[in-house]
Each structure stands twice: as structure tokens, then as C-alpha cells.
Copies of this chain bind each other. A is one copy, B any other.
Amino acid sequence: MKNTFGQSVSVTVFGESHGRGVGAVIDGLAPGMEVSGEEIARQLSRRRPSSPLDTARQEKDPFEILSGVFHGRATGTPLCIFIPNGDARSGDYTYGPARPSHADYAAHCKYHGFEDYRGGGHFSGRVTAALTAVGGILLPALEKLGVEIGTHILECGGVRDREFEDVAGDVRALRNRAFPVLEEDCAGQMSRRILEAREEQDSVGGVTQTAIAGLMPGLGEPWFDSLESILAHAVFSVGGVKGIEFGAGFAGTKLPGSRFNDPMRMADGRVVTESNHNGGINGGISNGMPVVFQCAVKPTPSISRPQRTVDFLRGEDTELTIRGRHDPAIIRRVCPVLDSVTAIAVADVLAQRYGTDVFTRGTGT
């Protein structure tokens, strides 16, 4: 299936960095679901480069809905959204010398030289604008069902934000943060580290933390389509993500079972756990606690320093200095993208479980 994700709600992405534009087709939307241009624009604005922290490339993202919306609502037939490319400077790219840590050489092996290599082509972070636009449609629909998704930067440049506590409240607070952290003073510290990296012609990575609050228990499958499998599948679509862990994750492996296990109790007639080391998922199935996961985002590969690499066309070693405009850290901009792919995965799981009208009819429970 390749560039398509999902069974009941499915998303197909297309486009290249320096071609006509990028876009997505979403199929399986509930007929009558609101599609708000403002929400899409708001979501896109969260991803847009907006400060010295980001690439100098100006992205206005004036999207066009080519199909699937009528009188401001989803028809239920495929919705195509297209974001034309504006400010692209193709002259900045040549073919042959591989940018280290980039897809260049791997893409060459797969596409035999026919790939549109300009600006990373279909591998470009530019394609995440399309994913983000999809999030602008699905996230508000999920909120109406009580499912709220948010991502913050947990760690960047040696600065660590606090973890989610009051998950639903924290998620709501993140919606309007230009710099998505929970402890607001982390924003300044992280920004400084990112600017320092830029000055050093270098880049930084970091760790994000995403929460899904309000998710119904009983979602996911025991094998192969565990909720962790589905979410990880979606999240690893995002370039630069090199790891995912649920709940206590890797640190949790150091705990003995007696401390890792989440004690359970009744609270207001609901089953809750006192800790959430399992990240809201047991045996692949949601347990009614918030689903929480962290992603490892590698440092931006494009740095301005000269790097040792190969010219794979000539088959020889070379040195490369990358020009063009790049983010010293993509981690701020990756947060709304993670919200969006999480929303895609959750929307699909819900529509499979409760049927294709779930977003207008609810779950019936």
C-alpha cells in the first residue's frame, strides 16, 4: 500500500518539495463531519517556520480542497487537499553527493536515479504540511468525541520539560503554545540552545511526548495490530523519528515488576491505574488511561559544516557543504505533525471499531 495508511479512514500523501506542491487524499470521513478551513490553517500555522529557529524558507501553505467537501462538511467521499509550492529554489541542489543522514543514497538505491532529488523531493519535510492539514480536519473531529491529542517537546538541547500530569488539561494548554512545552520557561532555554547550534553551523534533536486523552478502552488488537503497532507505524512515517516508547518505555525496563506494574483501583465508578507505566495500553489494547508515548527525533541532518561523504554516481569519496535553508532543529515543527499522524491512526481505529459514521453518530456507548 506504500504511501497510504489506514483501512476505514485512510490517507494517501503525494508531492515533492520542489514540484507543483504536496497533498493528501483522505477517504472514509463520516458524511457531515465539519471541515473548517480555519482549523486547517491553524494547524498548518503551528508547523510553519516562524522564527529564527527555523528554516528561512517561507511557507505560506495556501491550501486548496479539491474534492470531498460540500457546504463546509465532508461528503464522505474522498477529500483531496493540495498545498501548492511557492518559494522553492531548485538551483540549490545537485545529484550525486549524498547528504549524510539524509535519504539521498537510500533513495538512489530504490529509485535508480529517477527520484525528484530537488530539496529531498518526496522525502522532504514539506510533505508533512499535507499530513498536518489532515490533522486540521481530524483533530477537531476527535475532540468532539472527547479524544484530545497533544505533543510537547520533552527534551531538547539538554533542557527537559516536565512530563504530562493533568493530561487533558495539559493537552488543551498546548494548543495555543507557539513553542510547545508544558513548563513555559523551557521555551526560552530550548530556543537559546537551538540558536547556539545554528551559530555553530550545527543542529540539535530531542524527544517529544504525545498524549491521547479520553481514548475509549478496548481499542487495538492482540497481535500485529496492537495499538502500539498502529501508532508506531504512523509515527515512523515522520522523517527524523528514530524511536518510540510507550509509558515508562526504556527507563521502565530497569524497574522490577513490583514497581513497574500499575496498581489499579476504582475511581468514580471507572477503573484507573495509579501509575501509567504501560502508557495506557495493555496487551495491545487501550485500557482507558491516557495513551502516552515519547519519540526520539534525531538532530536535523542538514548542517552547514563540510561533511565527509560519497558521490554515489561517481562512486568516490568527497566532501560536501550543504547550502540551502534549513532548520537547526525540526523538533518544534514536528510536534503538530505528530499530533496529525496520531490523529490519523486513532481515527482509523475508531472507525474500524465503531463504524464509519462514528464521527457524527458517536460510539453508541
Contacts and interface: CB of A to CB of B under 8 A. Distances in A.
A276 to B, nearest CB: 11
Copy count, this protein chain:
4
Nearest to A356: B353
B310 A271 contact: yes
A77 interface: yes
A237 B230 CA distance: 10
Of A155, A285, A297, which is in contact with the most chain B CB atoms at under 10 Å from its CB? A285
Of A32, A229, A262, A277, which is in contact with the most chain B CB atoms at under 10 Å from its CB? A229
Contacts of A23: 66-67, 80
A205 B355 contact: no
A273 B249 CA distance: 29
A105 B271 contact: yes
A197 interface: yes
A218 B207 CA distance: 28
Given A121-B75, A218-B110, A229-B232, A12 B31 contact: no
Contact of A256 (B204, B223, B232): B204
A281 B248 CA distance: 26
A255 B205 contact: yes
Contact of A257 (B16, B248, B300): B300
A202 B287 CA distance: 23
Contacts of A57: none
Of A23, A254, A257, which is in contact with the most chain B CB atoms at under 10 Å from its CB? A257
Nearest to A249: B243
Interface in A193-219: 197, 200-207, 216-219
Contact of A2 (B10, B102, B255, B354): B10
Contact of A106 (B14, B76, B274, B287): B287
A112 B353 CA distance: 14
Nearest to A197: B256
Nearest to A100: B261
Contacts of A22: 67
Given A19-B67, A66-B14, A266 B25 contact: no
B4 A101 contact: no
B301 A204 contact: no
Given A76-B110, A217-B106, A257 B101 contact: yes
Interface stretch (A36-44, A163-171, A311-319): A311-319
A279 B4 contact: no
Contacts of A115: 31, 70, 75-77
Given A16-B68, A239-B283, 4 more contacts: A75-B115, A76-B114, A250-B294, A361-B364
